[in-house]
Amino acid sequence: MTIAFRHGDTLGDIGYEVLLHSLLSTVAVRLEGGEWGARFPCIMLKLCRGRLDAADAAAACAEWRDLQAGLAVLPPGQVVWDFNDLASRPPWGEAIGPRVTSMADYHVTTGGLPLLDVMGDCLAALSASGGTLEIIPFDGLAPFYYVN
């Protein structure tokens, strides 16, 4: 299933939900010591369950900055495909593009943007204008303004 971030009438493409799960799995294992949400509760416990309210936006933005910095120093070989099955590997194996230099740019949306950057933009928009940031099913045909 494909999914997107939705903030009001704006969508931020994620792509297949397995990509977001892999990004969050990598965070949980590599940056939180295997304890999901221990260090980044707004992103890992609230947003990943599908909804983040404006009241948590400032904290989530601070978490995102720390999360991004932590992933930026990890090489692409540190990817965790599935928190629940640490032996699983991405379907493409070790074959990654030359633009992937760290775990901060490993996960790419179907639109070709680093998923972490799209998340950061959506969190910044939530912080600036309030409302709710949600993760929704997305078939690419929804009548929303599309951020890419």
Task: Copy the structure tokens of residue 13.
Answer: 């493409």
| Spatial separation of the C-alpha atoms in residues 104 and 117, rounded to whole Å | 8
47 vs 99, residue with greater confidence:
47
Alpha-carbon distances, residue 41 vs 3, 33, 95, 113 (angstroms): 21, 14, 32, 24
Q: What is the DSSP string of 91-118?
A: TTTT---TT--STTSSSB-TTSSBHHHH
Q: Does 146 score more than 60 pLDDT?
A: no
**pTM of structure:** 0.90
Longest distance between any two alpha carbons in the chain, whole Å? 41
The reported pLDDT for the residue numbered 32 is 98
The reported pLDDT for the residue numbered 96 is 84
DSSP state at residue 5? E
Q: What value does the mean pLDDT take over residues 14-43? A: 96
The reported pLDDT for the residue numbered 110 is 87
Task: Copy the structure tokens of residue 1.
Answer: 């299933």
Q: What value does the mean pLDDT take over residues 71-94? A: 93
The reported pLDDT for the residue numbered 87 is 93
Q: What value does the mean pLDDT take over residues 71-78? A: 96
The reported pLDDT for the residue numbered 133 is 97
Q: What value does the mean pLDDT take over residues 129-148? A: 72
